[in-house]
Homo-oligomer: A and B are copies of this chain.
Amino acid sequence: MTENVAAVVRPEFDYDAMRDDHGDLRAEFVDAVSKAIAAEDAVWLRGLVSELHEADLGDLIEALDSDERVRLVELTGADFDFSALNEVDETVREEILEELEPAAVAEGVRELDADDAVELLQVLDEEDQEEILDKLPPSERDALERSLDYPENSAGRRMQTDFIAVPRDWTVGEAIDFMRETAELPERFYEIYVVDGVNHWQGAVSLDRLLRSHRNVPLTDLVDEDRRKVSVDDDQEEVARLFGKYNLVAAPVVDSQNRLVGVITIDDVVDVIEEEADEDLKALGGVTSDEELSDRVWTIARGRFNWLLVNLATAFLASSVLGLFEDQLQQMVALAVLAPIVASQGGNAATQTMTVAVRALATRELGAWNAVRVVMREALVGLVNGVAFALITGIAAYAWFKVPGLGVVIGLAMICNLIAGALGGILIPMALERMRADPAVASGTFVTTVTDVVGFFAFLGIATAWFGLK
């Protein structure tokens, strides 16, 4: 059977045998692997995992069943690249690591760069981490423990601790000879760093500058001393902004004494950028940032419950405004039918403004220097669209219910609510940012509460006055 299996995937685990035109994994490929796992065809599986890029191996792992995942790692032993586990959802990673023998995990961890090892281990609780760290040689254990001591989301957690640091008085030739003669260089690097005798960072030399210079050129001629560096405690989001802004591929990480302790590379930063975008998007949608596609029903339901509870409270608040006008609603039931339209239109206009505001705050495009202008502009946009939709809604409402004046009433309410929505949509995120809360997480609830309450109140209040209801 396994011969057949092999025939499907070979020659050489061709990329096209693995993925369809859309880039998705082929079901036949996943099936073939499942069958090989069931048949314990270790030889074939070892060949497979050592050919696959870690990212592809990660995708394959996610496509397998829970117990197949662990069996795959066990069957392939030393050929399995543990960095593939950093390519899968944290829930999946945690599950696999907990099922495996700590000694096996320790073996896998030893093969990783510090940043990858930290990323792998940080999903485990401290006890499980200790069990694995205990199986490592003391020097490697100490280094990892140090990295794990840095706060989550800090540069210290993300950095690689392998880097090339050379003395300031070397020439290009000396640096090149050093790299040719040193066996244990980082797996990938884009620049080397110049340090003084006690490891204080002095500057960076990019490899392309090194390569286009003659051997006798002193490094001091090439070194970039103005290069932005990162402090171990810096937040990863700050680091990502720096990379994006100055087009960096790597940045030195220094401790509080300006000693070079690591390097952050662009691949980690790309992950951060994607994570942060993910967080903002989910936060605006009312989903916690750690929800993952592989989570179980119960975990997801619980995670989403809190936000829905907050929303329920605000929905009751908005409805209590309707409750204030019970008598009027009974006298003119058209008001009950139309009120949600005013609230909904305001809510959507406010969401537009809020989305722009949250994004502009995240990218630092919106700040004290342009706040007044942007707020004014949003208010005007609210007015313009308020008037436009006042006309449309007014005509439609009159055409529907044929009540004279109803169009004017809903039109006026629409203008009020779109202006309120615009102001709420911009001022609430700005206020949250100033209070150092994350505008993406909390703005939505506040903003739609404003437009529900203002929408109902304006519409029913104006209607009560206009029609003389009581």
Contact = CB atoms under 8 A, between A and B. Distances in A.
Interface of A: 22-25, 27, 30, 53, 55, 62-63, 176, 179-180, 182, 185, 188-190, 206-208, 210-214, 238, 241, 243-247, 249, 266-267, 269-271, 273-274, 277-278, 280-282, 284-287, 291, 293, 296-298, 300-301, 304-305, 307-309, 311-312, 315-316, 318-319, 322-323, 326, 329-330, 333-334, 336-341, 343-345, 348-349, 351-352, 354-356, 358-360, 363-370, 374, 377, 380-381, 384-385, 388-389, 392-393, 396, 400, 452
Nearest to A338: B319
Contacts of A278: 359
Given A185-B208, A300-B377, A304-B381, 15 more contacts: A23-B241, A55-B245, A176-B211, A180-B214, A269-B270, A273-B277, A284-B285, A286-B348, A287-B356, A304-B352, A311-B348, A318-B340, A319-B338, A330-B333, A344-B452
Contact of A351 (B286, B291, B318, B352): B286
B326 A25 contact: no
B352 A384 contact: no
Contact of A345 (B208, B214, B315, B367): B315
B284 A281 contact: yes
A282 B365 CA distance: 15
Nearest to A335: B336
A266 to B, nearest CB: 5
B281 A180 contact: no
A296 B380 CA distance: 10
B249 A388 contact: no
Contact of A349 (B179, B304, B326): B304
A450 to B, nearest CB: 14
Each complex incorporates copies of this chain amounting to 2
A381 B297 contact: yes
Among A208, A359, A396, chain B packs the most CB atoms within 10 A around the CB of A208
B344 A311 contact: yes
Top 3 closest A-B pairs, CB basis?
A285-B355, A277-B277, A336-B336
A214 B179 CA distance: 10
A349 B308 contact: yes
Contacts of A266: 249, 266, 270
Contacts of A179: 211-212
A365 to B, nearest CB: 5
A56 to B, nearest CB: 8
A428 to B, nearest CB: 14
A319 B337 contact: yes
Contacts of A270: 243-244, 247, 266, 269-270, 273
Contact of A385 (B62, B273, B304, B329): B304
Contacts of A293: 356, 360, 365-366, 370, 374
Contacts of A381: 297, 300-301, 304
Given A287-B356, A315-B345, A322 B337 contact: yes
A377 B24 CA distance: 21
Contacts of A62: 365
B367 A24 contact: yes
A308 B356 contact: no
B341 A333 contact: no
Contacts of A326: 333-334, 337
A286 B359 contact: no
21 contacts: A23-B241, A55-B247, A179-B211, A207-B207, A207-B211, A210-B211, A247-B270, A273-B277, A274-B277, A284-B284, A284-B285, A286-B352, A286-B355, A291-B356, A297-B384, A301-B381, A312-B389, A312-B393, A315-B344, A329-B333, A340-B452
Contacts of A176: 211
Nearest to A300: B381
Nearest to A327: B333
Contact of A348 (B300, B308, B359): B308
B285 A354 contact: yes
Among A206, A245, A271, A338, chain B packs the most CB atoms within 10 A around the CB of A245
A244 B53 CA distance: 13
A241 B23 CA distance: 10
Among A285, A377, A392, chain B packs the most CB atoms within 10 A around the CB of A285
A369 B296 CA distance: 17
Contact of A24 (B245, B273, B369, B400): B369
